[in-house]
Amino acid sequence: MSVMPSTVSLNSEEFRRNREAYEARIRELHERRARALAGGPEKARLLHKQRKQLLPRERLAAVLDPGSPFLEFGQLAGDGLHKGVVPSGGIITGVGLVSGRPCMLMIHDATVKGGSYYGITAKKHVRAQMFAWQHRLTCITMVQSGGANLPEQAHIFPDEGQFGSIFYNQIRMSAEGIVQIATVHGPSTAGGAYLPALCDEAVIVRNQGAMYLAGPELVYAATKEEVDVETLGGGEMHSRVSGVTDQLAENDGHAIAIVRGIVANLGAAPKQRWDTAAPMPPRHHPREIYGIVSADNRHPTDNREVLLRLIDDSDLQEFKPLYGDTMICGFARIKGFQIGILANNGVIFSESALKGAHFIELCCQRDIPLLFIADVSGFMVGKAVEQQGIAKHGAKFMTAMASANVPRYTLIIGGSYAAGYMAMCGRPFKPTVMMMWPTGRAALMGPEQAATTLAMVREKIHRREGTTWTDEDKERFKQPIREQFERFASPYNYASNLWCDMVVDPVETRDTMALLLELAGRQPQRDTRFGVFRM
């Protein structure tokens, strides 16, 4: 047993201030989630119901097993990017159980601009596919899409990672035996028609679903041929004449029942490769984290106190506890799954980096997944640490982190700046999943640092040109820079742009991690070969 004691006073004034500030952030998180869950405008939702169609999230609830969790990806994608017209990026993506098997669900929200694709929609769809590919998850796409939003073509059409990559990923996953299933619930045009056509099996709803490369209006404009929707691309035609679809459903519910039957006959799901222990709650409630995370960014958080509210029984087998103590490394369990944790508790020194690299090597040898808990202003700077070779030691840490082929998860709980963001498995280093708490922030540097740095540059220009500025001038110059960096660093900016996969409440973290580890443990172990460590 290595149970960590807590020294937090739950009745202190500081705890109360921190808790109140965090609870305000939690309210904002749930307000943003509520807007995403609502989907498109009420008029569009009402039109769906008048057509006797299930709403997108009703389709989701119907296809999932009763009581199944749903691990949603990119719920806040597009939030604020297009003046509110693309809630949740226009597509719902996430993992849940269908007929007992974990599946990736990708559900067009036709209440949002007819299910058409913006750049963020394509990016979100591709991100869901990449997670499914990595975990060999059966993909179920519920299609009702007008295809590409034409003014967005620069963000949809020409490049890798855009709309065309969706087709490529479908084909390559199918070739590897990762099952692709589609249901067509409404009119699906152009790229929206290719999505089901490229699946292993496709189901279409009678008198609702339709798929064609060009709709009746475009056909007439191109050929002067007059044709109605059903004759051109309806369910009856595709199921009896063209053979593009494999099953004809009477309504949304029937289509979903057919899909559940298909999944039920896919054979046994992969077995869990990791031994798990009986889950044990932390000795202190995770909700206490609200009062521990500092409300003032200038005052550091004691992240040991955070850890003991996340891990089973508050039991951490710490590695090298007396060396490089600004990096906490240790073995623990979350809901019974073993995990190797690297958590910042101050800036990264050479010793911290070396310790982290050593710990990562141990986890790779033992097939233990890694959780990077980021709260760091960066690496230490100055003459002394440069002469000690901090760049070299930091490079060792990054090499170990990037080379590791065990599952790697990133959780940003505070600031994550500059090279510290990269070293703690930031998005460019392709973590399996990247999450942020509402207090998470990430940028090249903190707002005050950025404002001071740019003010110093401006000061040199004044001196060179023989001009001066007052303290008031300097403050007017610095304030918009602070605001710009604050906006950029926000977890909601990261979630909106899909630079992170989800913003999670601290009290949701254990459940989220357990779901992720359960999925990862059903994949084969991968050996790690490390890059060259500069000595």
Within 10 A of 21 (CB to CB), how many other CB atoms are there? 16
The reported pLDDT for the residue numbered 1 is 53
Digit-coded pLDDT (tens) for 449-491: 999 999 999 989 988 998 988 889 899 999 999 999 999 999 9
The reported pLDDT for the residue numbered 350 is 96
Residues 25/439, Cβ–Cβ less than 8 Å: yes
| Domain shared by 416 and 317, yes or no | yes
Q: 203 phi and psi, to 5 degrees?
A: -120, 140
The reported pLDDT for the residue numbered 84 is 58
Q: Which of 158, 74, 159, 160 is nearest to 121 (CA)?
A: 74
Residue 500 has pLDDT above 80, yes or no: yes
For residue 6, give the DSSP letter.
P
**What are the residues facing 161 on neighbouring strands?**
none
Digit-coded pLDDT (tens) for 69-93: 999 999 999 988 866 567 899 999 9
Domain of residue 149 covers 26-264
CATH (domain of 391) = 3.90.226.10
Residues 416/393, Cβ–Cβ less than 8 Å: no
| Domain shared by 180 and 94, yes or no | yes
Percent of the chain with pLDDT over 70: 99
Total count of domains within the chain: 2
Residue 335 has pLDDT above 70, yes or no: yes
The reported pLDDT for the residue numbered 291 is 97
What integer is the mean pLDDT of 30-57?
A: 92
| Domain shared by 232 and 361, yes or no | no
The reported pLDDT for the residue numbered 226 is 86
Digit-coded pLDDT (tens) for 160-193: 999 999 999 999 999 999 999 999 999 998 888 8
| pLDDT tier for residue 519 given thresholds of 50, 70 and 90 | very high
- Residue 127 token pair: 């991100």
| Domain shared by 306 and 415, yes or no | yes
R_g of the chain computed on alpha carbons = 26
Residues 146/107, Cβ–Cβ less than 8 Å: no
- Residue 125 token pair: 């769809």
The reported pLDDT for the residue numbered 114 is 86
| Domain shared by 181 and 80, yes or no | yes
Residue 312 located in a structural domain: yes
Residue 223 located in a structural domain: yes
Q: Which helix (H) or strand (E) holds 163?
A: helix 163-175
Within 10 A of 470 (CB to CB), how many other CB atoms are there? 8
Within 10 A of 535 (CB to CB), how many other CB atoms are there? 6
What integer is the mean pLDDT of 432-440?
A: 98
| Residue for token pair 């708490």 | 437
Residue 127 located in a structural domain: yes
Supply the mean pLDDT for the chain: 94
| Parallel, antiparallel or unpaired: strands 180-184 and 201-205 | parallel
| pLDDT tier for residue 218 given thresholds of 50, 70 and 90 | confident
| Domain shared by 242 and 342, yes or no | no
How far apart are alpha carbons 95 and 93 in whole angstroms? 7
Residue 451 located in a structural domain: no
Q: In what order do the strands lie in the sheet with 138-143?
A: 70-73, 91-98, 101-108, 138-143, 180-184, 201-205, 247-249
| Domain shared by 367 and 418, yes or no | yes
